[in-house]
């Protein structure tokens, strides 16, 4: 640009420093730019007063605790029942809505081992899971035992830990579906009470 | 009260900022000419595209619908899910390389012709201003005039229209993210029903109004980073708007002997929306709007001289040197752009409307149940489509004798749904010799796509494991059941975790 028609004038407002031959003018910043700075300072006063002076907002750990409580409450509200016991599971097993929901969960997740009929090894000796319709229960003789077995699984035998996969709501439905193949008060034998087989 | 005399731009100060830091407002004069006409056509087309995209349905969705609430991004019939977010890399790098390439080749063509700031400012807001306040001279006089009923009415009318336009622009902007029907529903609700959205729209309207009513060229000159990196992206062969110094100088009256073509009418300065004098060379403030080109061409044609005293040309071209299009810079940027585009196209073509994930179930890596070795997997399917889908899952490349249970029926997924299915693979122990790989494949019944995952089937180490032994295999694998878990239920309950 040697033909520059307007060479830079020597201006008294040029700052003294030079960097790589580049010099800097000492012009004022635009006022609107300065207003953003002043605005930030005003905001800071309010912000600092709110959080540090008056401490109007809860502290960090408190807010985390509040948020965690909120999440916990929503999880509980989303689950089918906060309290699971034998009578409530039996009651669900008579409810067609629960049974249908449970049938769907069972079909999606359980039939590879327990078969569509729920009869597992009783139907086909090569099946993986035991019969769920007979009256000899391997892992405890109560509906809550069944619920716990599904939730925690039997890792040594290959029964998966379904709790984190399905969640309480769907496990409850699946248990209700299995229980719908039984009657409350039928003579269920807890396998643990039997003498060990030969 | 007459307005202050026009400021003569110099290169060492920003025209729009006075020495005391206050704003010097510009009143760019009207200009007409071939570039003004072309820019208007382009701008009207772009505004039509901006406004119509959320309205045109493509494949059941608006042409562009960035459904943040459901994390689904519909782009001209292509639906991307949150799982495809990595493609954003190509959008951002593509924008970068595209802008680099375009800038090295054509300078600030984006700023002057396509940037929404320029398009809306020049073709919408300035036209409203022209309509209400008159031409540049009238606007300068009105701005300097004392307050009167007439001036107040004009100001109120102008800013009311500005505000309405800002509201329209922000609502349209929101429609890209919520779709037109949802936007219309929210507009009819009380603000309190969608409080967050209402506050967002109010704030965005305020910003847009402030930008186009007051801030204007300050955005391009001070805030926009693109203008600031120009000097690193352009070179002497980049197309810019420039003044033919050799032809124009020395300036003089039309009849003056020895004078160049420039008559010093300053028309190019009066029409400049950023307040520079292009005859002082390429400057940061120049957004390449070509108003000065049209202005000068008009004067030249009136004088019977050749147009193009101010024109689109490279600095080399203005200096009378040949123009070079292929330069290391344009080649490099172009190659990078091509590579990015090719990889992006290849990646997008690999996007499938479902996700398949297979993991080994929590528990032992394998189970030995009598004479059967068993592996348990969990198949995770995600339907990325917005309608229900039935997917067929099959296991391939299994050795003879192996069976896979759990995948018999098609898996039906709700719109955007996710399903987990157990997959139980069994192999007679006599056939198991070493770990082997097999494939799990998912396809839709119509056969439009398939997904595959490779899995490994594990079993007991035969080296440690005598054929009849029932004890644990190697220390590195969990013990398989000691006794055959046969049909009899009289086994002791396993300990719970």
pLDDT tens per residue, range B99-131 = 889 999 999 999 999 999 999 999 999 999 999
Calpha distance B371→B460 (Å, rounded)? 12
Please name the residues between 323 and 362 in chain B that touch chain A, using a CB distance below 8 Å: 361-362
Calpha distance B337→B99 (Å, rounded)? 9
Over residues B191-211, the pLDDT tens digits come to 888 888 999 999 999 999 999
Q: Which residue has the higher pLDDT, B233 or A73?
A: B233
* Lowest mean pLDDT, pick from A142-156, B171-185, B265-279: A142-156
Asked whether the beta carbons of residue A156 and residue B495 sit closer than 8 angstroms, the reply is yes
Calpha distance A19→A29 (Å, rounded)? 21
**Residue A12, pLDDT score:** 64
pLDDT band of A196, cuts 50, 70, 90: low
Rounded to the nearest angstrom, the gap between the alpha carbon of residue B362 and the centroid of all alpha carbons in its chain is 41
DSSP state of B378: E
Q: What would the mean pLDDT of B457-477 be, rounded to a whole number?
A: 55
8 A C-beta contact, residue B487 and residue A122? yes
Task: Give the start-end residues of each E strand in B6-71.
Answer: 57-58, 61-62, 64-67
8 A C-beta contact, residue B174 and residue B183? yes
Calpha distance B375→B427 (Å, rounded)? 9
- What chain B residue is nearest to A192 in terms of C-alpha separation? B492
CA dihedral A108→A114→A116→A120, nearest 10 degrees, is: 170
Calpha distance B278→B382 (Å, rounded)? 58
Please name the residues between 381 and 420 in chain B that touch chain A, using a CB distance below 8 Å: 405-406, 411, 419-420
pLDDT at residue B331 tops 50: yes
Domain residue ranges in chain A: 14-53, 86-193
Rounded to the nearest angstrom, the gap between the alpha carbon of residue B435 and the centroid of all alpha carbons in its chain is 47
**Residue A2, pLDDT score:** 45
**Residue B262, pLDDT score:** 94
- What chain A residue is nearest to B427 in terms of C-alpha separation? A126
Q: What would the mean pLDDT of B6-30 be, rounded to a whole number?
A: 90
Asked whether the beta carbons of residue B12 and residue A8 sit closer than 8 angstroms, the reply is yes
Q: To the nearest whole number, what is the mean pLDDT of chain B?
A: 86
Which among B376, B411, B492 is the nearest to A196, CB-wise?
B492
pLDDT band of B406, cuts 50, 70, 90: confident
Calpha distance B428→B474 (Å, rounded)? 19
**Pairing verdict, β B61-62 and B72-75:** unpaired
CA angle (B51, B57, B61) in 5-degree steps: 110
CB-based contacts of A13, cutoff 8 Å, min separation 6: A25, A26, A27
Count of CB pairs separated by less than 8 Å, A with B: 142
Q: What would the mean pLDDT of A111-124 be, rounded to a whole number?
A: 86
Calpha distance B9→B277 (Å, rounded)? 6
Asked whether the beta carbons of residue A128 and residue B406 sit closer than 8 angstroms, the reply is no
Q: What would the mean pLDDT of B310-323 be, rounded to a whole number?
A: 91
The alpha-carbon gap from B260 to the nearest alpha carbon of chain A, in Å, equals 13
pLDDT band of A78, cuts 50, 70, 90: low
Asked whether the beta carbons of residue A112 and residue B492 sit closer than 8 angstroms, the reply is no
**Residue A197, pLDDT score:** 52
**Pairing verdict, β A136-137 and A189-190:** parallel
pLDDT at residue B481 tops 60: no
Over residues B376-392, the pLDDT tens digits come to 999 999 888 777 888 88
Over residues B343-374, the pLDDT tens digits come to 989 988 888 888 898 999 888 888 887 788 88
Calpha distance A156→B423 (Å, rounded)? 18
What 3-state class would DSSP assign to A94?
Answer: coil
Chain A residues in contact with B23 (beta carbon < 8 A): 30-32
Could you tell me if B495 lies within 8 Å of chain A, comparing CB atoms? yes
Calpha distance A103→B1 (Å, rounded)? 87
**Residue B303, pLDDT score:** 93
Chain B residues in contact with A121 (beta carbon < 8 A): 486-487
Calpha distance A161→B497 (Å, rounded)? 9
Chain B residues in contact with A128 (beta carbon < 8 A): 369, 374, 405, 424, 426
- What chain A residue is nearest to B251 in terms of C-alpha separation? A5
**Residue A11, pLDDT score:** 57
Over residues B294-307, the pLDDT tens digits come to 999 999 999 999 99
Residue B176 is inside which H or E element, if any?
A: helix B149-178
Q: ipTM of this predicted complex?
A: 0.71
Asked whether the beta carbons of residue B363 and residue A155 sit closer than 8 angstroms, the reply is yes
Across-strand partners of B356? B381
Could you tell me if B426 lies within 8 Å of chain A, comparing CB atoms? yes
Q: Which residue has the higher pLDDT, A11 or B235?
A: B235
8 A C-beta contact, residue B241 and residue B285? no
Could you tell me if B190 lies within 8 Å of chain A, comparing CB atoms? no
What 3-state class would DSSP assign to B26?
Answer: coil
CB-based contacts of B173, cutoff 8 Å, min separation 6: B204
CB atoms within 10 A of CB B266: 16
Q: What would the mean pLDDT of B387-404 be, rounded to a whole number?
A: 86
**Residue B403, pLDDT score:** 84
CATH of the domain spanning A86-193:
1.10.760.10
Calpha distance A114→A106 (Å, rounded)? 9
Asked whether the beta carbons of residue A6 and residue B421 sit closer than 8 angstroms, the reply is no
Which CATH code of 3.50.50.60, 3.90.1150.10, 2.102.10.10, 2.60.40.10 fits the domain covering B354-457? 2.60.40.10
Calpha distance A17→A5 (Å, rounded)? 26
Asked whether the beta carbons of residue B362 and residue A30 sit closer than 8 angstroms, the reply is no
What secondary structure does DSSP assign to A145-186, as a single string? HHHHHHHH-BTTTTB---HHHHHHHHHHHHHHHHHTTS-TT-
* Lowest mean pLDDT, pick from B33-42, B173-182, B439-448: B439-448
Rounded to the nearest angstrom, the gap between the alpha carbon of residue B213 and the centroid of all alpha carbons in its chain is 26
The alpha-carbon gap from B219 to the nearest alpha carbon of chain A, in Å, equals 11
Chain A residues in contact with B375 (beta carbon < 8 A): none
Please name the residues between 255 and 284 in chain B that touch chain A, using a CB distance below 8 Å: 279-281
Rounded to the nearest angstrom, the gap between the alpha carbon of residue A157 and the centroid of all alpha carbons in its chain is 27
pLDDT at residue B479 tops 50: no
Calpha distance B266→B256 (Å, rounded)? 17
pLDDT at residue B492 tops 60: no
**Residue A76, pLDDT score:** 67
pTM for the predicted model, two decimal places: 0.75
Please name the residues between 140 and 169 in chain A that touch chain B, using a CB distance below 8 Å: 140, 148-149, 152-158, 160-161, 164-166
pLDDT at residue B495 tops 50: no
Over residues B67-81, the pLDDT tens digits come to 888 888 888 888 888
| CA-based nearest residue to B260, from B279, B278, B238 | B279
Across-strand partners of B152? none
Three-state secondary structure readout of B113-145: HCCHHHHHHHHHHHHHHHHHHCCHHHHHHHHHC
Domain residue ranges in chain B: 1-351, 354-457
Which among A25, A109, A139 is the nearest to B422, CB-wise?
A109
The alpha-carbon gap from A157 to the nearest alpha carbon of chain B, in Å, equals 7
Asked whether the beta carbons of residue A161 and residue B362 sit closer than 8 angstroms, the reply is yes
**Residue A60, pLDDT score:** 81
**Residue A195, pLDDT score:** 67
pLDDT at residue B484 tops 60: no
Calpha distance B279→A55 (Å, rounded)? 59
Q: What would the mean pLDDT of A130-150 be, rounded to a whole number?
A: 87
Asked whether the beta carbons of residue B218 and residue A30 sit closer than 8 angstroms, the reply is yes
Could you tell me if B488 lies within 8 Å of chain A, comparing CB atoms? yes
pLDDT at residue A80 tops 50: yes
pLDDT band of B480, cuts 50, 70, 90: very low
Could you tell me if B213 lies within 8 Å of chain A, comparing CB atoms? no
Could you tell me if A52 lies within 8 Å of chain B, comparing CB atoms? no
Q: What would the mean pLDDT of A128-137 be, rounded to a whole number?
A: 87
Asked whether the beta carbons of residue A138 and residue B367 sit closer than 8 angstroms, the reply is no
Calpha distance B189→B206 (Å, rounded)? 21
Q: How far is CA B226 from CA B38, B93, B96, B218, B221, in A?
A: 23, 15, 10, 13, 10
Q: How far is CA A198 from CA B273, B488, B491, in A?
A: 98, 11, 10
The alpha-carbon gap from A15 to the nearest alpha carbon of chain B, in Å, equals 13
pLDDT at residue A7 tops 60: no
- Percent of chain B predicted with pLDDT > 70: 93
């Amino acid at each position: 640009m040697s033909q520059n028609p307007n060479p830079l004038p020597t201006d008294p407002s040029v700052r003294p420093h030079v960097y790589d031959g580049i010099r800097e003018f000492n012009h004022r910043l635009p006022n609107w730019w300065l207003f953003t700075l002043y605005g930030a300072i005003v905001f800071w006063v309010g912000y600092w007063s709110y959080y540090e002076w008056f401490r109007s907002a809860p502290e960090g750990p408190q807010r985390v605790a509040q948020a965690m409580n909120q999440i916990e409450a929503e999880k509980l509200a989303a689950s089918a029942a906060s309290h699971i016991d034998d009578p409530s599971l039996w009651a669900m097993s008579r409810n067609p809505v629960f049974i249908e929901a449970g049938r769907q969960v069972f079909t999606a997740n359980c039939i590879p081992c327990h078969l569509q009929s729920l009869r597992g090894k009783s139907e086909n000796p090569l099946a993986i899971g035991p019969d769920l319709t007979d009256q000899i229960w391997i892992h405890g003789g109560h509906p809550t035992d069944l619920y716990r077995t599904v939730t925690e699984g039997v890792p040594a035998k290959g029964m998966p830990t379904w709790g984190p996969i399905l969640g309480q709501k769907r496990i409850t439905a699946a248990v209700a579906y299995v229980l719908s193949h039984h009657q409350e008060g039928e003579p269920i034998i807890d396998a643990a009470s039997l003498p060990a087989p030969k | 009260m007459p307005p202050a005399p026009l400021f003569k731009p110099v290169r060492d100060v920003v025209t729009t900022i006075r020495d005391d830091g206050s704003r010097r407002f510009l009143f760019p004069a009207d200009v007409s000419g071939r570039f003004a006409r072309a820019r208007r056509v382009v701008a009207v087309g772009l505004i039509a595209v901006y406004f119509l995209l959320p309205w045109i349905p493509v494949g059941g969705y608006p042409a562009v619908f960035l459904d943040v609430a459901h994390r689904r991004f519909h782009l001209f019939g292509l639906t991307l899910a949150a799982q495809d977010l990595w493609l954003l890399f190509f959008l951002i790098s593509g924008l970068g390389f595209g802008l680099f390439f375009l800038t090295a080749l054509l300078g600030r063509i984006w700023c002057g012709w396509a940037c929404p700031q320029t398009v809306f400012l020049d073709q919408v807001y300035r036209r409203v201003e022209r309509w209400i306040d008159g031409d540049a001279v009238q606007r300068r006089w009105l701005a300097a005039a004392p307050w009167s009923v007439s001036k107040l009415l004009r100001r109120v009318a102008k800013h009311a229209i500005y505000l309405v336009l800002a509201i329209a622009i922000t609502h349209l902007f929101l429609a890209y993210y919520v779709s037109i029907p949802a936007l219309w529903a929210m507009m009819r609700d009380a603000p309190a029903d969608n409080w967050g959205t209402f506050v967002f729209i109010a704030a965005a309207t305020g910003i847009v109004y402030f930008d186009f009513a007051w801030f204007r060229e300050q955005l391009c000159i001070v805030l926009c980073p693109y203008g600031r990196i120009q000097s690193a992206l352009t070179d002497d062969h980049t197309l810019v708007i420039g003044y033919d110094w050799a032809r124009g100088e020395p300036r003089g009256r039309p009849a003056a002997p020895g004078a160049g073509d420039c008559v010093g009418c300053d028309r190019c300065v009066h029409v400049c929306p950023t307040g520079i004098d292009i005859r002082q060379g390429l400057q940061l403030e120049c957004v390449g709007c070509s108003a000065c080109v049209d202005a000068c061409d008009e004067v030249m044609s009136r004088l019977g001289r050749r147009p193009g005293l101010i024109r689109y040309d490279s600095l080399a071209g203005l200096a009378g040197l040949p123009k070079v299009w292929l330069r290391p810079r344009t080649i490099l940027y172009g190659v990078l752009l091509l590579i990015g585009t090719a990889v992006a196209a290849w990646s997008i073509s690999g996007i499938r409307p479902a996700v398949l994930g297979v993991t080994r179930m929590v528990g032992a890596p394998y189970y030995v149940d009598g004479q059967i070795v068993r592996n348990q997997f969990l198949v995770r399917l995600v339907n990325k489509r917005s309608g229900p889908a039935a997917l067929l899952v099959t296991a391939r490349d299994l050795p003879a004798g192996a069976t896979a249970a759990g995948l018999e029926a098609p898996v039906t997924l709700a719109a955007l749904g996710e399903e987990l299915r157990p997959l139980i693979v069994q192999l007679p122990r006599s056939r198991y010799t070493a770990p082997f790989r097999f494939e799990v494949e998912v396809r839709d019944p119509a056969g439009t796509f398939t997904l595959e995952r490779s899995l490994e089937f594990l079993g007991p180490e035969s080296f440690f494991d005598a054929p009849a032994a029932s004890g644990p295999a190697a220390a590195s694998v969990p013990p398989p059941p000691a006794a055959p878990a046969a049909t009899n239920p009289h086994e002791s309950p396993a300990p719970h975790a």
